[in-house]
Chain A
Amino acid sequence: MAEGSKDQGTVVMGTATSPTTPTPTTITITDPEEDSPNMIVYRKIEDIVMRIQDEKAGGVAIRTVKSFLSKIPSVVSVHVCVFVRSSVQVGSCVLGADIVQWLMKNLSIEDSAEAIHLGSLVAAQGYFFPISDHVLTLKDDGTLYRFQSPYFWPSNCWEPENTDYAIYLCKRTMQNKARLELADYEAENLARLQRAFARKWEFIFMQAEAQVKIDRKKDKAERKILDSQERAFWDVHRPVPGCVNTTEMDIRKCRRERNPHRVKKSVYGTPDDSQSPSPVHIPSSQPARKATREDVQKEISFLNIQLDRHCMKVSKVADSLMCYTEQFMEYDPFVAPMEPSNPWLTDDTSFWDLEAGSRDPSQQRVKKWGFSMEECLKDPAGRDQFLKFLESEFSSENLQFWLAVQELKRRPLQEVASRAQEIWQEFLAEGAPSSINLDSHSYERTSQNIKDPGRYSFEDAQEHIYKLMKSDSYARFLRSNVYQDLLLARKKQQPSDTEQGRRTSLEKFTRSVGKSLTGKRLTGLMQSS
């Protein structure tokens, strides 16, 4: 579309005399803060903006506009635009639709909505603006856009003062031009500034007058361009109410900006006597510490440890990640449908209510316990069932020990020592009521640790017991009737006679006892049934 119209009309490139056309030469900046987060984005945007304007290298066709004052048709069709060979060159512009097309083609964007969004952000940062109104967004139509002068680019770290803004607004009111009339919010701002700067107002007024005089001497066309660029600059730094202020900074990154103390730089070169510091938190700057010998020695020992580490091949790791993801995809609400429904979509909380009750867990949930012992223990219902099973085999002390140590690590500091002692007495000491079997090495280590009991006193023992359960008890649990019944949703037989009834109530009783982690095993009671 764009190519067709280029043949019909004349396209006059911005001449070298115009100071506002950015030259394609790269601006070299030797700045140590080049890699600060904001700068990275600005440089990327600047690269895009330069490329768009570089017609020879696949940029966008640049149009001339007959007259700034006449209404610019904002019709999508390009053929409606009039190209006029005129001696009054009012500046080179590009069409919004062309920018969108360029973005889609050169940044591999498939959806125009995304291109419009990106373009609007670039406009909002102040890199180009529509010449007719000053709403800093990109429209996918015949709206004409002008590029901002590099002088006004945000990467120059402008922090324009209110005095500059006052001068600017004042200047606008002095020139009797319809296009320079103040918008409502600008008039309000001016009134407010007049009150705030009451004592300085004469100075500001003088500055504004001086500016107007200088401007009058400039070439008419050039002035129009500069005026529009200046206005776009202020649209960024004093945004229209309701618009996003894109100059806002993430406070955590402030101190690394080129101008960390935000020393105000005057847009118009006026010296500012009221250097009120901006309300930005200036954390104490920490100059990069020169690496000491200790630092490098630490680094060397770290690197040696890394070299000794046994690592897996990426192919193996990739298979493992794929396997895990595949296994859990049916449990992922974003990928698989939820039964009965996702509460956030239907406003129906049944999904959560079902999960909460640990009696009769769903088959899908029970299946998860079979993936790994970790998954089983993660689910409170799974943990309960596993414990119950172990109790029926009179081998629950291992799991109870493991759970006790987990709970120990969650205790407040001052309770840790005494609780650790209790655990020792219950599970490991001579004649312990719930004694567990440890290998001699772990036992030695643990008995040493317990002399100065702490949160991690039982790490070795816990690890050993975990491995034991995983290879032995857990495997049997998965093969057990209890688990298989739940997995295949086989209904349990109703307790019809007193014999059965007593057994179920006994099961319930032992289960509740099992929950209390310091409960003694009721060997006697169990044997009596």
Chain B
Amino acid sequence: MCDQTFVAITFGPCDRCEKNFPLMSIYIQGEAATYCSFCVDTMACEGLTKGETLVTLKNESDSLKKKLEEERNKLHDIELHKVAEKVEVLGALPIKTRRVLKGHSNKVLCMDWCKDKRRLVSSSQDGKVIVWDAFTLNKEHGVTMPCTWVMACAYAPSGCAIACGGLDNKCCVFPLSLDKNENLAAKKKNVAMHTNYLSACSFTNSDMQILTSSGDGTCALWDVESSQLLQSFHGHTADVLSLHLAPSETGNTFVSGGCDKKCNVWDMRSGQNVQSFETHDSDVNCVRYYPSGDAFASASDDATCRLYDLRADREVAIYQKDSIIFGATSVDFSQSGRLLFAGYNDYTVNAWDVLKGTRVSILFGHENRISSLKVSPDGTAFCSASWDNTLRIWA
């Protein structure tokens, strides 16, 4: 019952304590800020010169970024394609479609090779996950997922299981058996649980762990047997679309790419983001390590693919052409790292000379967007999955 008049003020999170309170607009060192009354009092008592505000922190961060860029630029003494001028030019590549895998009734969204170099698993918008012997075109296993849009699938290193997931926000594992009458769906095991769609999944070098990435902006490492979360990776500020494990026998790192235009390298053991690259102009759809593990390539909706080197901590090559205006959706290296195959939304696959930065071949064949592309484990062929409901093997 007071007869005080109140000034109309906004309600929301305070810039300093982040709690929801009625806010007051104040100026600190010339910058506007909104604080709750408690923080205003505290600030006033502490003195305005001390105390880190969001604004001063941002300034510090910006100056550090500038300094980092300067330091890195000092090491940028020459371009990769200039150094590569002395490398012999590649002759024309006689790459053709060698197999067409038909069987899906809707867009094929993802595929993965088996370590035996001829089998592969594919998943589709029709909810079906099929295991093929690509060499004979034989369909060996099939399972229908309860949810359509199965965006991710992976083959276990032993060849005895597959993992898949998508709009259901989960990643589940199916053990494969030689039994003709098997009911794969019955042996399904839910391993991962995200709060948004599953964009990619990959087994580590064992059937017992799975690494996943999701539209919820995180990646996670799971123990398959217990479905326990072993490690989670936070840092992306938007959907994570792709991940790839480093090929090293001794390493514990992986790289991820997302809709925040960033490619992040993570330490699996600590969950820390160890390196970050942000040079793309749009979503990063796919990331893949160079065979030595010292660099990785990315494919983006800005119609370019880029090569980032981990030791130089910067982008070292960009693969683009005026005539390529549609986004690149997937990339993979050939066995030696000399060629980079990239699938695009203009239905083509382009083969790039990694060192020289030039395009070696353009491959036509698919009748709709290419969603996924992977080179086989021994490098003898690569497979592309497309929205035209088919997969193609090229060699």
Contacts and interface: CB of A to CB of B under 8 A. Distances in A.
Interface of A: 35, 37, 40-41, 44-45, 48, 103, 106-109, 111, 113-115, 117-118, 121, 244, 248, 250-253, 256, 281, 283-284, 286, 288-293, 296-297, 299-300, 302-304, 306-307, 309, 311-322, 324-329, 331-335, 338, 342-345, 349, 351-352, 355, 374, 377-378, 406, 409-414, 456, 459, 462-463, 466
B1 interface: no
Given A302-B276, A314-B80, A332-B379, A41 B249 contact: no
Interface in B351-389: 354-355, 362, 364, 367-369, 378-381, 387-388
A321 B345 contact: no
B334 A332 contact: yes
A335 B338 contact: yes
Contacts of A35: 281-282
Contacts of A466: 250
Given A35-B282, A309-B313, A328-B336, A252 B291 contact: no
B77 A315 contact: yes
Contacts of B301: 37, 40-41
Nearest to B269: A456
Contacts of B20: none
A414 B72 CA distance: 44
User: Per DSSP, are chain A's interface residues mostly helix, strand or loop, or mixed?
Assistant: helix
The list of the 8 closest CB pairs from A to B, nearest first, reads A410-B206, A332-B336, A328-B336, A412-B225, A344-B395, A37-B301, A318-B83, A413-B223
A314 B75 contact: yes
Contacts of B387: 248
B57 A300 contact: yes
B77 A314 contact: yes
Interface of B: 13, 16, 18, 52, 54, 57-58, 60-61, 64-65, 67-68, 71-72, 75-80, 83-84, 87, 90, 93, 95, 98-99, 117-118, 135, 149, 151, 167, 196-197, 199, 204-209, 215, 217, 223-226, 228, 230, 237, 239, 241, 248-250, 259, 269, 273, 275-276, 281-283, 290-292, 294-295, 301-303, 309, 311-314, 316, 321-323, 325-327, 334-339, 345-348, 354-355, 362, 364, 367-369, 378-381, 387-388, 393, 395
A342 B376 CA distance: 12
B364 A307 contact: no
B395 A342 contact: yes
B61 A303 contact: yes
Contact of A332 (B326, B338, B393): B338
A314 B316 contact: yes
Contact of B215 (A41, A113, A252): A252
Given A311-B72, A412-B224, A108 B336 contact: no
B379 to A, nearest CB: 5
Given A118-B323, A303-B64, A311 B311 contact: yes
A68 B134 CA distance: 51
A374 B80 contact: no
B120 to A, nearest CB: 13
Contacts of B336: 324-325, 327-329, 331-332, 335
A335 B362 CA distance: 16
Contacts of B325: 41, 44-45, 48, 118
B71 to A, nearest CB: 6
A265 B64 CA distance: 47
B334 A303 contact: no
A311 B77 CA distance: 13
Contact of A244 (B367, B380, B393): B367
Contact of B327 (A37, A318, A319, A412): A37
A61 B241 CA distance: 44
30 contacts: A37-B283, A40-B301, A41-B327, A41-B345, A103-B323, A117-B347, A251-B167, A281-B167, A284-B196, A293-B16, A293-B18, A306-B68, A311-B313, A314-B76, A314-B79, A317-B316, A321-B290, A321-B294, A328-B336, A331-B335, A331-B336, A333-B334, A334-B93, A334-B338, A334-B379, A344-B380, A344-B381, A409-B206, A412-B225, A412-B226
Contacts, number: 265
B18 A333 contact: no
A290 B54 CA distance: 11
B393 A313 contact: no
A355 B379 CA distance: 13
Nearest to B12: A290
A111 B199 CA distance: 36
B256 to A, nearest CB: 14
Contacts of A322: 83-84, 87, 355
A338 B381 CA distance: 12
B267 to A, nearest CB: 11
Contacts of A320: 294, 311
Given A314-B77, A314-B78, A319-B83, A37 B282 contact: yes
B64 A108 contact: no
Nearest to B393: A344
A414 to B, nearest CB: 6
A318 B208 contact: no
A293 B52 CA distance: 9
Contact of B98 (A299, A344, A355): A344
Given A40-B282, A333-B395, A114 B338 contact: no
Contacts of B393: 344
Contacts of A411: 206, 208
B144 to A, nearest CB: 18
A409 B118 CA distance: 27
Which residue, A327, A332, A409, has most C-beta atoms of chain B within 10 A? Answer: A332
A410 B367 contact: no
Contact of A40 (B302, B322, B338): B302
Contacts of B58: 291, 296
Contacts of A283: 196-197, 215
Nearest to A113: B364
B323 A109 contact: yes
Contact of B312 (A106, A314, A326, A327): A314
Contact of B248 (A44, A335, A345, A374): A374
B64 A351 contact: no
A296 B367 contact: no
A252 B151 contact: yes
B243 to A, nearest CB: 14
A252 B64 contact: no
Contacts of A48: 325
B117 to A, nearest CB: 6
Given A332-B379, A344-B98, A413-B223, A312 B321 contact: no
A296 B58 CA distance: 6
A461 B321 CA distance: 49
B76 A300 contact: no
Contacts of A315: 77-78, 83
A112 B237 CA distance: 42
Given A312-B311, A318-B83, A321-B316, 9 more contacts: A107-B322, A311-B313, A314-B78, A316-B311, A320-B294, A333-B379, A342-B381, A378-B249, A412-B226
